[in-house]
Structures are given as C-alpha cells and as structure tokens.
Amino acid sequence: MHVQELLQLDSLDLNLLWGESSLLTREVSGVTATDLEDPARFLQPGELVLSGLVWWKPGESRAKVDRFVSALHSAGAAALLAGEETHGSVPEDLVASCREHRIALVAVPAHTTFRAITEAVYLRQWGDLSRRPTDHYALPENVRTELARLLAEGAAPDALLDRAFAHLGGPACYLLTATGRVIARTPSAPFLSAQQAARDLTGAVGTSLRIDGDFGPYDSWHLHLRGAADAPPRVLHEIADVIAQYRHLLDRRQDAGRRAADELMALIDAAPADGAALDSAVHAAGLPVSGPYRVVVAALGGDDSDRAVGALTEALRHSPAAPFVVGRLPGGEAVAVVHADADADASSDSEGYTALRDLWPTLHACHPQTPLHAGVSSLTAAAGGLNSALSQARYALAAARADAPKAARITSVEDLTTLGTLLAGVPSDVRTAFSSRVLGPLARGSSTSHRMLLETLEVFLAQHGSWARTAETLHLHVNTVHYRIQRIESLTGRDLSRLDHKLDLHAALLCRQGLSEAPRD
C-alpha cells in the first residue's frame, strides 16, 4: 500500500499538507502511533507515524519540532499523520519542518480515529497473507497461522499474547488500557497494579504500542513490555495488529449491547416508565432485573457523547464485580446504570464510589485538555426508581461542573452535605434570579457603598451575627456595624435577627459567589 492510496480513502477524510509525488508513492510497511519527542528507536523504515502532537505545546521552540521530524527522517518513516484534535490544527512549524526534512505530512481530522487508519493499512497487509512473500513478516509463518486460527475461534486476549510471544521465550507482556487496567498478560508477567501500569505508560517505561478504540483517548489499549528490548520492533508491531483485529471483532460483538443500553437510557430519561417495559429493557441490556441500582452521568466539554461513553465505561470496568451498562443521551451525556450488591452494607457500597472518585484524575489525564465531570445518584431499590436516580445524578453533575468548571470532578448526591454544595447544582439562571430578588439593590448596585454593605453582610453572617466580632474583623466601631446592618435590612426587607432571614441572605450570597466563579460563556 502507498501513502497516496490512503489519501484516496474518503472514509478517512485525510488532508495532505505537504508531500511530493515521489514520497506519496512509497510502500507502507506498517503503522505506529507515538507521542514521544524522539521516537526514532521505535520506528522501522517505511512506517506511517501517527501522532496526536501531545509532545508539542503552542509557543515552544521550532527546535523541538525539528528534533521530532528529524527522528522520523533518520528512521525512514513513510509519512507523518498528525492529529488535529489536540491543538485544533497542525502547527505551521511542523509543516515547515516536514518540508525541509522531506517527510510527507497528512492532517488527521478529529473525527477520524487512528484506529481507522491502522485498520485501513492492515486490512491490506495482515489480512492478505496468501499474496505476500513469507519474508515480508517478522513473525514466523506458523505463529501467524496459529494466531489467525485463534482469532477466528474467538480466543481470549491472554491466549493470543501467550501464543504470540512464546517463540521469543515468553517475555512479560501486558495488554493495558489508558488508565492502567490490565486486560491480559503473558504467563510470565507478574501482577501489575493499575496505578503502577498507568505510571509506566505516562513515564514511557519500557516499550508500548497504542491500539486506538472507537471512543477516543479513554478507550485506547496499549501493548506494553516493561523491558525495552524484550521483542524486536517489527514483531511487536505485528502482534499489535493482531490485538487490533481482536478488538475490532470484540467491538462488533458489543454493538448490539450498546444499542440495548441506549434504548434503556432513553426509556429511563423519558419519564417513569411502565414497570414491565422497564424490566424488559433492563434485562435486554444485560442487568439483573432486581435492584439496587445507582446511576452515573458523565459529560465532557463540547458535549462529546462518544468520548464521555468511553471515559465512563473505562472507569466502571475497574470494578468488575459490579455489573453495569453505559448508554448515551442526545444531549451529549453518557449514562450508566450500575447494579449494586443487594447484600452489601452502606460502607462497602460507598467504597465503590470512593474507588471511582480516586480513579477520576487518572482518567482525566488521558485527555487533560477537556474537563471531565460526573454525577452519581444514591441507590434506588428497584428499576422503577431509575428516573429519579437519573435526576439525582444530573443534579450532582451540575454541582461538579459548578464546583470545578475547568477541571475534572466527580460528585455524588451524598456529597451534597452543605448549603453551598446543594446550591451548586441549581441552574445558573435560577441562582441569578434568587440572588437578585433576595439581595435587592445590593445585588444590582455597583457603588462603593453597596460593595461595603455586601462585605459587612458577609462578615456578619460568617461571625454568626456577633456585632463585636464583626466590628473587630472589619476594624470598625460597633455602632457603625449596627448602622450598616440596619441599612442592609432596609434595602433587602429582611430582619437579621431572624434565623430564616439570615439563611435566605446567606443562600443569596452563596449563589452570587458561585455565579462570579463560573466561567463566562
């Protein structure tokens, strides 16, 4: 296959940024994905190099770009396929450097996955063994034949890894997710915790090849050897191709389950559904018909439901004992229904949420450019309560977004234990109206006098209505504090000797504070 043939595939929607005809007719020997600054030692001549450009940041020197492109040139790469997703476009410095080093450069739009490109290449290379000379492959013919048979029989990934690496002496190899979850490992590979595996991937320990999935960076797999020289690079690439085929077949088998999950979520979202229809949908999605259940809603900036589904699915797979299904809603939310152990006590159930919360930063690190938020409901005893649980989870999601609009955050309704956390989930327009109505002229005025009265009110409430402590904090005479409080009561129509009026004003201030901290549209 030539680079030019790849550009002609309409399904990939690739865009040639630079490349002479002689470069576009080079034979492609393979594909590798990398975001290392100097990937030369992992590349083979004739390979297509896929890069999300995570190694580059705007404003960095041209020298860094030149080092990366020079590494591709020295390794004999056929072309660089640069993803536009991370930065929105391919940087001009990279275009100029590729022109100088004579490396064909192709832009990959955000909607085209690296996996789709890999499959397009290897459908012609791996799937057409009979028309290729034996010496085209690094894997022995008997190993390739056996792996093809195992794939056809639906073998598990452990069996594929074992057979693929047996002729190399069975080195320790892992198949990992982006968050460090171990999908499979060879018999000689010792236990590796998810935390350590994630650190290995982040720190580029050993050798790793990425296998992209359908749902973005949270969904990628990594063929990982902790020893950098445990397998020849070409062999490792060919084994990664086998795992990519396994994943493709697995995804196709899971398509029906995804459709059933989407139907269940739509039924839950519509309204409290007919009990029999809801039980039937729960069963069709693969969950036990009897509860209890918990609902989790996740969302990404930009309403990217596919990636939110990938993120939430990966997070929940870290707790294999809890059955779950993940679907999507038209608004861009990913929704999961998680089945809890009916015999579990409250503390063990809360451990599941704690584990999910602890995993969230690792999940966010897979794609730190986009805030990842989630909300978790309380337990509901039966399927009939899923609509209410979905509302709870959405409220908790809104609270998570309000609390950390530009960072990753997961919040449970059980975390809403203060007035501030409760109000965080209230829609911003409702908080605006409430704050404006309760504070009256203090909310709408911008004069120095109004700002001074607001500060006095905040301190007075923070000091639990103590005139003396308020005066001390503000460095005022007590009589001045009395005068200001009287003005506040007059402007707001509230009596600060009454507990309920104090609570109203405190809530209005919290709403006002939350609005001032929220990101501007």
Average model confidence (pLDDT) across the chain: 85
| 242/34 Cα distance (integer angstroms) | 18
For residue 302, the model assigns a pLDDT of: 61
Q: For the chain, what are the domain ranges?
A: 3-121, 139-251, 271-415, 428-517
CATH architecture of 139-251: 2-Layer Sandwich (3.30)
* The residue type at 132: R
Residue 77 DSSP symbol: -
Domain covering 3-121, topology = 3.40.1390
For residue 38, the model assigns a pLDDT of: 84
In the sheet that 15-18 helps form, which strands lie side by side, from edge to edge?
A: 15-18, 104-108, 79-83, 47-51, 30-33
| 287/257 Cα distance (integer angstroms) | 11
Assess whether pLDDT exceeds 60 at residue 347: no
Partners of residue 32 on adjacent β-strands: 49
Assess whether pLDDT exceeds 80 at residue 327: yes
Cβ atoms within 10 Å, residue 455:
13
Provide CATH code, domain 271-415: 3.30.70.270
For residue 132, the model assigns a pLDDT of: 45
For residue 349, the model assigns a pLDDT of: 57
Q: pLDDT digits over 121-165, tens only? A: 766 554 443 344 445 567 888 888 899 889 888 899 999 999 999
Q: Is the dihedral of CA 47, 53, 55, 56 positive or negative?
A: positive
Q: Is domain 428-517 annotated with CATH 1.10.10.2840?
A: yes
Q: pLDDT digits over 222-280, tens only? A: 999 887 666 777 788 889 889 988 988 888 777 777 888 888 998 898 876 677 888 89
The confidence band for 406, taking pLDDT boundaries of 50, 70 and 90, is confident
Q: Which residues contact 438 (CB under 8 A, 6 or more apart)?
A: 492, 494, 504, 505, 507, 508
Q: pLDDT digits over 162-177, tens only? A: 999 998 888 899 999 9
* Tokens (6 digits) for 486: 């009287």
For residue 124, the model assigns a pLDDT of: 57
Average the pLDDT over 93-111 and give the result: 94
* Tokens (6 digits) for 182: 């171990």
- What values do phi and psi take at 137, rounded to 5? -105, 150
| Cβ burial, residue 61 (10 Å; 0-12/13-18/19+) | exposed
| pLDDT higher at 209 or 65 | 65
Average the pLDDT over 386-414 and give the result: 88
Q: pLDDT digits over 412-432, tens only? A: 988 888 888 888 778 878 888
Q: pLDDT digits over 442-501, tens only? A: 887 678 888 899 999 999 999 999 999 999 999 999 999 999 999 999 999 999 999 999
For residue 92, the model assigns a pLDDT of: 94
- Using CA atoms, how far residue 511 sits from 195, 411, 430, in Å, is 38, 19, 9
The confidence band for 514, taking pLDDT boundaries of 50, 70 and 90, is low
Least confident range from 1-15, 302-316, 480-494: namely 302-316
97 alpha carbon, distance to own chain's centre: 32
Assess whether pLDDT exceeds 70 at residue 517: no
Q: pLDDT digits over 286-307, tens only? A: 999 888 999 999 988 765 677 8
For residue 456, the model assigns a pLDDT of: 92
Q: pLDDT digits over 59-78, tens only? A: 888 999 999 999 999 999 99
Consecutive H or E run containing 157? helix 157-166
Consecutive H or E run containing 299? strand 293-300
| 363/360 Cα distance (integer angstroms) | 5
Residue 2 DSSP symbol: B
* % of residues, the chain, pLDDT over 90: 39
Average the pLDDT over 42-56 and give the result: 87
* The residue type at 387: N
